[in-house]
Structure 1
């Protein structure tokens, strides 16, 4: 099944978001057919905040290393690290064998004009027609023009420019989700919504569910819990055995060196 087809299955595609090779390998081991990345996780691992265009080089390297995985990979590339459509296309085209990219219509926490984002989408699709371009609409995420009409207008503009899907993070209201899914002409992607299963979100019209930075943030919490347990003499939590992770990384390195 193609990456595009995964957005049209019986249930929405659940896309876990990795931040490095080991997290991506863990998701592959768990049986996910596709893996995304989280720009927050990648930026945080660099000691940088999300959305300040600090992850371009790290994401390019991560794409190179994940491109050999036996599943589809889609990269979160913030706003493509540029205001220029052709430079955005250059960056996306240089990401090797990945199946898709997620490009947001905001820079430094502010929405950009929809025409500017549509131009980026069009440039990327012209350069790599087979790449699944997921256009992120940040109206609800940043609370700017956070209403259905403005969101649909942006999403429709991006779909007309060639976007294969639209990501609207920050929406949790079922009625809003259903209205957006009905109005947007391409598959709707949202973040996981507490209390709504994939089946329930699918009934609302959602076709892709991203974990976003949740796994990364959960891993940070788990790391702190483990360290505190050792310090305080508490019960040490279960963890994946060292030998298992070492063997997995060794196999991946050999495949890379191939």
Structure 2
């Protein structure tokens, strides 16, 4: 199935977000049909905070590395790393040439929400440059706690859909009634982050078509790594892990593609 088609299956697309090649390979081996990236994980790998436009080069390099995978890849490009729509579109085109099937682009950052028209202009520029790229326009009203109402969020989503967005991502929306209202009012696939306590089937009944893991796997991996080290230090049993030979075999297969 194409990346677009994966948003219209019987269940929501569960999109795990990788931060490097090994994490993407692990997700692929676990049977996920597509892989996304996490800007937080990429930024953290550079020792930089998320959302500061510090990951443009690293994200493009990761897109090129993951473009070799036999599955669709969606790249989190923060806010496009520029204010000028033409520059954003040029960057998205590089990501598409690297093999990405989609991008995620946000309308919020360290300084708060941008004007909807400014973000819509970026979406339109990307679609004009890359008409086949799945553009997931992120609405950060609930994520940033600014204009965090269904009405304001739907207004922003409508502007981005009119500009050509293929999907709308509303991270931070967790109340089932809010999610259902958003899904009912947005004519393209709605994407949310993992909602604790809601299964994939339950989000499907609310109208969600894509559930992203965001930076959760990366942060959980940090906790797991610390757990291994402290278990060794404290004399407790260490947790199970993928055998070295299996992890190495994944990389050998990848290197030969």
Unaligned runs of 5+ in 1: none
Partners of 1:97 and 1:228 lie apart in 2 by 40
Report the equivalent of 1:101: 103
Partners of 2:111 and 2:167 lie apart in 1 by 21
Report the equivalent of 1:91: 91
1:30 aligns with 2:30: yes
Report the equivalent of 1:18: 18
Partners of 1:148 and 1:195 lie apart in 2 by 21
Report the equivalent of 2:199: 197
Shift of 1:97: 1.1
Shift of 1:242: 1.0
Partners of 2:191 and 2:43 lie apart in 1 by 22
Partner SS for 1:140: helix
User: Does the Cα contact within 8 Å between 1:44 and 1:50 map onto a contact in 2?
Assistant: yes
Report the equivalent of 1:171: 173
Shift of 1:243: 1.2
Shift of 1:254: 1.9
Partners of 2:250 and 2:40 lie apart in 1 by 25
Report the equivalent of 2:82: 82
1:67 aligns with 2:52: no
User: Does the Cα contact within 8 Å between 1:42 and 1:59 map onto a contact in 2?
Assistant: yes
Unaligned runs of 5+ in 2: none
Report the equivalent of 1:253: 255
Shift of 1:154: 0.2
Deviation >4 Å, runs of 4+: none
User: Does the Cα contact within 8 Å between 1:13 and 1:207 map onto a contact in 2?
Assistant: yes
User: Does the Cα contact within 8 Å between 1:109 and 1:142 map onto a contact in 2?
Assistant: no
User: Does the Cα contact within 8 Å between 1:51 and 1:109 map onto a contact in 2?
Assistant: no
Partner SS for 1:94: helix
1:155 aligns with 2:157: yes
Shift of 1:84: 0.5
TM-score between both structures, scaled by the size of structure 1: 0.98
Shift of 1:29: 0.1
Partners of 2:57 and 2:147 lie apart in 1 by 32
Match of residue 187, structure 1, among 178, 186, 189: 189
Shift of 1:109: 4.5
Partners of 2:144 and 2:118 lie apart in 1 by 18
1:219 aligns with 2:221: yes
Report the equivalent of 1:206: 208
User: Does the Cα contact within 8 Å between 1:106 and 1:112 map onto a contact in 2?
Assistant: yes
Shift of 1:107: 2.6
